[in-house]
Structure 1
Amino acid sequence: MVSLKLLLSSLAVGCLPSALARSSPEYPDDLTVNTHTGIYTGLRNENYTGVREFRNIPFAQPPVRKLRWQPPVALPHSNAHHYSTRFPPSCPQFVSGSKSLWNQFLPSLMPNNGENGNQTNQVAQTSSEDCLSLAIWTPYGVKRNAKLPVLFFITGGGFQSGGIEIPSQLPAQWVHRSRSHIVVTINYRVNIFGFPNAAALKYPNLGILDQRMALEWVAANIDRFGGDPKAITLWGQSAGAESVDYQLFSYWEEPIARAAFIQSGTALVPLKSVDYEHANFTYVAKHVGCDFPSDAAAELECMQQVPYPQLINFINTHTSTKKILFGPIADEKVCFSNYTKQAAKGKMARIPAIISNCAKETASLSGWPENPVAGFDNEKILQGTLKTWVCTTADTCKLRSSLNAPTYRYQFAGNFSNLAQLPWMGAFHASDLFMNFGTYELPSNPTEHEAAVSQAMQDHILAFARDALNGAKKMGWEPYNYGSSVIRFGGSNGKVVQKVSGYEIDGPCYGNGTYDMSP
């Protein structure tokens, strides 16, 4: 396992001493924090004045030139001052030109792409290789060492896209409402930049290493923002959820986090890449002028000099029938080929976890239907929802149960018309993010019931984050075993929260009963 400990040197690269930064009226104490790697002045959220934001704090050196496709490198100690009032660019990614349910109806689920919009068929305008940053939301006025629980969030995007500035996933509303927790969101390298799988590289899963270094930075510095480094919940959605689960296996002896929230995705979802011959990287290299079929080192050195937009645009617009996909691949260090065997060896962090699904996950993951009103074939949505999402979650829960790792299960079943804007969409993949973050007003006017569901979900998650062993139980949420109760939020019967039998959800995975996508 590669070591990603924060190596903080004594080098001071700044020109502004910390004492001056703290005393100057330009850097007010309530908005300025001195970290190991710099002094950062954030802002007070205009709409949620109970929230302090630090929108751009680098956690690693820019992965450019010779550092492209290398494990993240820790920043040196610094007393330099920085304003942290603008979000960083996302890591290099492509903005599709094809229609999707998200870019047509729910652009707030996509990374901000500036004035170019969400259907450009080219590299994202707001992306850059210098992207390894995180953002922090705290209650305004919180003091250092307040020991608030910390939710460390990893965004989804299929390991192809994602980032901090996704409107539906900005947590100001939730932090303002609770005034008692902190949220951190990170950028990490994706697609070919995060998962290059080049023959000359020792570590193909760089995006996961980025996530780990960000987590280490938070553990070393979050007390200065009022957080408790011993009360971190590692949380991710979709690809972010898979990433969280990967880390419970790769860093099983030292997970850093005391709890996990694994939302719509686990390590048992099949890995995105099986390209063990490194063919995809070599294919791209050949077509951008780096054709070194017998010299992997020369191929890599040449590729490190190709402008990143050229790489991103080629991968996503080439006309060959060859499918080029870059994502996590089993290296038996960061990602494994058989997680059941890893669990059988006891090599999984046995920290408490929430594991969740949406009732109709696959509805939003099938592109654009020929007839938007009629939608996709319901049987295909059902089978995709079960095979990729629900049943891998059920199997993950069984693995965790075999190791006596406390697991709390929920299903989101909210079918709200401002989110599911076509009648067949239901509780689609990522729809519960609006509930978690309290951003349900973004698509259009929500109902009171929708707001109540959001608040209930926030309260259950925060109870768990505050006390991973007993907080959920105090909410009436019992640890899950096959057949025991699952919490359902927003079901069709009008209830905000209810307990349902686990057999109702997981039974179809094992040949028992019929799965209901609109419960």
Structure 2
Amino acid sequence: MTALAALAAAVIVPAPAQAAEGQRGPVVRTEAGLVRGERTAEGRQFLGIPYAEAPVGALRWKEPRPVRPWQGVRGARDFGNKCVQGASWDPGYERPSHTEDCLDLNVYVPEGSRQRAVLVWFHGGGLTAGAGQDVVPDTFARQTGTVVVTVNYRLGAMGFLATAGLDDEAQDGVSGNFGMLDQQAALRWVRANIGRFGGDPRRVTIAGESAGGRSVCTQLASPTATGLFRAGIIQSGAYDDCAARTRETAVEQGAAFAEKLGCATVACLRGKSSAEILAAQGGFDWGPVTGGAFLPVQPAAAFASGTAAGVPVMNGANLDEGRLFAFGRFDGAGAPLTADRYPAVMRASFGEEALARYPLTAHPSPTIAFGTALGDRMFACSALRLDGTLAGRGPVYTYEFADRTSPPFASLRGLGTDFDFGATHVNEVQYLFKHFGLKTPLNTEQRALARQMVQYWGSFVRTGVPRAHGQPAMPESGPERVLLLRTASAGGNAPTTSVYGDHQCDLWDAEAPR
């Protein structure tokens, strides 16, 4: 028996002995104490469970510490606090959050007591926004027979500040990875406790979309994550080739941030309110840092050298990723990109050859033409490059979400626009989970595609191989074979070898870092 298997056997107690139906809901004993959740139409859920000590006061910008045990039964029927972040147009995020006590997770469990495969979801939001509650995966858990965990982690400056002073405090001499270390603390919580909820700690898949997908990419490359999961799902997360900041760059940015706050010491920074920290963090790049024990080298280098986790990976992007960002820059800002401005904007953003590759006559509008180039460069071609890099260290299954009829999530936020978002960034999430608690208005064909996608994702979580009943297999391949996910009237799900050319990847690969 391996050390990991021995540890799992030591912590797993049969669910009937661990979970009792209390007067007001099911009760489970975790390592830190009892939690009481609730039953829903989909199964059982336990919300707002702390997995680490609150990173407040002297613990701000410290590695996460195990949560302190509590007495009695802790209620787990409400989401915990969102980590520090600004206001946005997303439902429930209309006001900023200044709460640092936020290291909680949520567990969704189908009825029954057998040990089920586990999906751990890291939310998106650019590593500066979002929370575990952004998705409610209770229906996914029931339909796939899996346990799903969603996680809060520190964001922005609170999660990724690096300074010389913080380097001096860090065990490995490199600061700035607090949010990523939070994710690993959550995974250690899962390993120690999920068996008591009916999950199997030996069958954990990590997954996420956008910044959550980038988190998965980073955790795959982190030596300190070894043994915490057996598979990964990267949804629209390969942008910037999963690159992290160098220690030198991160410390330079941290010094500029401290100067903005008028601080020369870590003590001064810790004395600032979370509102002051949040107000000052705009304009900086917040993300993981290389050079320490957590991430010795860039993820791409770890994948190429074979030092990254050799686990199955499912990786993909959406057909029209860039349209959401182009809309936000132009039409959504009240300044639609015009035909007259298009050439200058394209040259300034991407260069002369890109202008030639994306002629305005080939696209419905200048904004969509710009968004096509942006999405190809940032997401589609980055995903394909990652497929090729990962293929040398384990199976890689590839997809492209291509339902151009998908309801634009932006329209659910009261934008009142007729902009054609197509299969843009974030749009696939609503086919898997309830997104921001909203019931997505899918039509009959879209509901069929959603069922198929849930089967692909669920199969991967359970077995490490994505399959769906009566549907083509998701290709295990390098960069040229990809499964298109589409409604039946658009041709249905089908493997293709044309994605590389469709997204002009020879152009974008030529400028990618080597």
TM-score for the superposition, normalised by structure 1: 0.79
Deviates more, 1:211-220 or 1:242-251: 242-251
The one of 133, 138, 146 aligned to 1:165? 133
Q: Structure 1 residue 44 and structure 2 residue 39: aligned?
A: yes
Contact 1:362 1:429 in 2 (8 A): yes
Partner amino acid for 1:314? A
Aligned residues: 450
The 1:341/1:313 distance shift into structure 2, 3 A limit, reads closer
The 1:406/1:505 distance shift into structure 2, 3 A limit, reads farther
Distance 1:288 1:512 in 2: 38
Partner amino acid for 2:86? F
Contact 1:440 1:446 in 2 (8 A): no
* Residues 269-418 of structure 1: pairs in structure 2 closer than 5 A: 269=241, 271=243, 273=245, 276=249, 278-290=251-263, 292=264, 299-316=265-282, 323-335=283-295, 338-366=298-326, 367-368=328-329, 369=331, 370=334, 377-403=367-393, 405-416=394-405, 418=407
Question: 2:140 matched to which residue of 1?
Answer: 174
Q: Structure 1 residue 450 and structure 2 residue 446: aligned?
A: yes
Partner amino acid for 1:380? F
Consecutive unaligned residues of structure 1, counting only runs of 5 or more, are 1-6, 8-20, 97-102, 293-298, 317-322, 514-519
Q: Please state how far the C-alpha of 1:207 moved relative to its aligned partner.
A: 0.5
- CA RMSD in angstroms comes to 3.2
Contact 2:472 2:495 in 1 (8 A): no
Could you give the per-residue CA deviations for residues 22-62 of structure 1, whole angstroms, max 9, x where no partner exists? 7794355xx110011111000123xxx13211111000000
Contact 1:456 1:496 in 2 (8 A): no
Give the secondary-structure state (helix, strand or coil) at the position aligned to 1:137. Answer: strand
Could you give the per-residue CA deviations for residues 85-112 of structure 1, whole angstroms, max 9, x where no partner exists? 110111101115xxxxxx3xxx35xxx2
Question: 1:13 matched to which residue of 2?
Answer: none
Q: Please state how far the C-alpha of 1:155 moved relative to its aligned partner.
A: 0.4
Q: Please state how far the C-alpha of 1:493 moved relative to its aligned partner.
A: 4.2
Question: 1:244 matched to which residue of 2?
Answer: 216
Could you give the per-residue CA deviations for residues 83-142 of structure 1, whole angstroms, max 9, x where no partner exists? 00110111101115xxxxxx3xxx35xxx23xxx2xx5xx33xx5100001000111x32
- Percent identity between the two aligned chains: 25
Distance 1:470 1:389 in 2: 21
Question: 2:112 matched to which residue of 1?
Answer: 142
TM-score for the superposition, normalised by structure 2: 0.79
Question: 1:498 matched to which residue of 2?
Answer: 494
The 1:73/1:401 distance shift into structure 2, 3 A limit, reads same
Question: 1:33 matched to which residue of 2?
Answer: 28
Q: Please state how far the C-alpha of 1:213 moved relative to its aligned partner.
A: 0.5
Partner amino acid for 1:311? I
Q: Please state how far the C-alpha of 1:505 moved relative to its aligned partner.
A: 6.0
Could you give the per-residue CA deviations for residues 403-452 of structure 1, whole angstroms, max 9, x where no partner exists? 3x111111111123632643421111111000111559937632111111
Partner amino acid for 2:161? P
Give the secondary-structure state (helix, strand or coil) at the position aligned to 1:357. Answer: strand
Question: 2:79 matched to which residue of 1?
Answer: 87
Give the secondary-structure state (helix, strand or coil) at the position aligned to 1:261. Answer: strand
Distance 2:401 2:300 in 1: 27
Consecutive unaligned residues of structure 2, counting only runs of 5 or more, are 1-6, 8-17, 339-364, 412-417, 510-514
Q: Please state how far the C-alpha of 1:307 moved relative to its aligned partner.
A: 1.1
Question: 1:462 matched to which residue of 2?
Answer: 458
Partner amino acid for 1:135? N
Q: Structure 1 residue 221 and structure 2 residue 205: aligned?
A: no
